[in-house]
Homo-oligomer: A and B are copies of this chain.
Amino acid sequence: MANAGSRNRADRSTGAVTLQQVARQAGVSLATASRALHGAGGRSVGEELRRRVEAAAAELNYVSNGPAQALASATANVVGLIVHDVGDPYFAAIAAGAMRVARERRLMVMISATFREPGLELEYLRGLRAQRARAVVLAGSGAAGAADADRLAAEIAGFQEEGGRVVCVGERGGELDTVAPDNRGGAAQAVRALWERGHRRIGVVAGPQELTTVRHRLDGARQALRELGGELPAERLVAADFTREGGRAAARRLFAQEPGTTAVLALNDVMATGILAALRQDLGLSVPGQVSVVGFDDVPYAADLRPALSTVRLPLEVAGAEAVRLILDEPVAGPRRVHLDTELVLRDSTGPAPA
């Protein structure tokens, strides 16, 4: 048989067809087969040979060996995406955008979910680095003052030194490429809209205050309030988990502390969903009759809630897509930033302040 002689004692192969076999079948050298199949756009293999190689590959059902390519070329066609939770519509939208662009560029996407455990971000970045991912998108916002912030920064630096690219969605410290939604501006818009409708006692339901996303949204709300001559006393600011249940609990707390509150700004839609539930089921307050609610993000089902949720729309899908574009473009000196504008979408959950 012609194909004898390859399987010798220490055969650790999986039986997969190799490029070598394709080359042999096509009657060309290994190098030519490699160029024909994976060669850069620039032609460098004759029509005839290329055809023969392609035919051989098809016939043998050749599947390239990614790890081997990655090892030889010192770069893999993989990008990483680290999120807090894929089940959260915020991250799901970012992931969808990122995957869309990845597909255009023929890249595979590795997704890791930290489930909001801070240490895991570090661990996953290491994993992605070990996989020799081309680039990593840090989709969850950073946590200021986190114990391991330094180690994370070191890990990022190490990854970059090895040629890896990193981009954040949302602000982080450091000199990183960033896709930055206008969190401050969005929150300010929401507050102004409420103010214009006569609301003066506006409560804010925030997520974990370490998150820079939360900080910026809070900052924006605070500053807008200040400019309007209002204020945000500590009793009208409640923080909880960035979840539906977190929002629900926060709303109960808020109205226990400050029953006179006439409007609530939730720092994301998932919390807003819980707030609406609390208002309706736990507190018996009508929206927008007695209380107005504004959320943040404009998740896909925001308009389907009861009542339809007013919110600050963020182009999340675009954010994910832009993030991947940024890290695939040629690097430039200094960090780049893509700003994303927000849009206030008024629906049924906001109305004039009660008399």
Chain A interfacial positions (CB closer than 8 Å to B)? 12-16, 61, 63-76, 78, 85-87, 89, 92-93, 95-96, 99-100, 103, 108-113, 115, 120, 126-132, 154, 158, 161-163, 244, 273, 276-277, 300-301, 303-307, 317
Check A110–B109 contact: CB distance below 8 A.
yes
Check B126–A63 contact: CB distance below 8 A.
yes
Give the residues in chain B near A115, CB-CB below 8 Å. 100, 103
Check B89–A96 contact: CB distance below 8 A.
no
Check A15–B161 contact: CB distance below 8 A.
yes
With A67-B131, A304-B305 in contact, is A108–B108 under 8 Å at CB? Answer: no
Most buried by B among A61, A74, A161, A277: A74
Nearest 3 A/B pairs, CB to CB = A306-B306, A67-B70, A87-B96
Check A163–B14 contact: CB distance below 8 A.
yes
Give the residues in chain B near A129, CB-CB below 8 Å. 63
Give the residues in chain B near A154, CB-CB below 8 Å. 61
Q: Which of B16, B72, B100, B305 contacts A301 (CB 8 A)?
A: B305
A320 to chain B, nearest CB (A): 10
Most buried by B among A72, A103, A120, A163: A103
With A92-B86, A96-B87, A99-B112 in contact, is A158–B301 under 8 Å at CB? Answer: no
A108 to chain B, nearest CB (A): 5
Query: Complex Cα distance A162/B17, Å?
Result: 9
Check A112–B112 contact: CB distance below 8 A.
no
Query: Complex Cα distance A110/B65, Å?
Result: 16
With A66-B67, A158-B63 in contact, is A93–B87 under 8 Å at CB? Answer: yes
Residue of B nearest to A88 (CB): B92
Check B67–A162 contact: CB distance below 8 A.
no
Give the residues in chain B near A305, CB-CB below 8 Å. 301, 304-306
Q: Which of B95, B127, B163, B300 contacts A108 (CB 8 A)?
A: B127
Q: Which of B12, B99, B276, B304 contacts A277 (CB 8 A)?
A: B304
Query: Complex Cα distance A243/B87, Å?
Result: 17
Check A110–B113 contact: CB distance below 8 A.
no
Check A96–B113 contact: CB distance below 8 A.
yes
Check B111–A109 contact: CB distance below 8 A.
yes
Query: Complex Cα distance A71/B16, Å?
Result: 12
Check B96–A85 contact: CB distance below 8 A.
yes
Give the residues in chain B near A16, CB-CB below 8 Å. 162
Query: Complex Cα distance A276/B303, Å?
Result: 11
Check B66–A132 contact: CB distance below 8 A.
yes
Check B111–A99 contact: CB distance below 8 A.
yes
Check A111–B113 contact: CB distance below 8 A.
no
Q: Which of B71, B73, B126 contacts A68 (CB 8 A)?
A: B71
With A112-B108, A301-B273, A306-B304 in contact, is A86–B67 under 8 Å at CB? Answer: no
Residue of B nearest to A68 (CB): B71
Query: Complex Cα distance A163/B71, Å?
Result: 21
Check A110–B108 contact: CB distance below 8 A.
yes
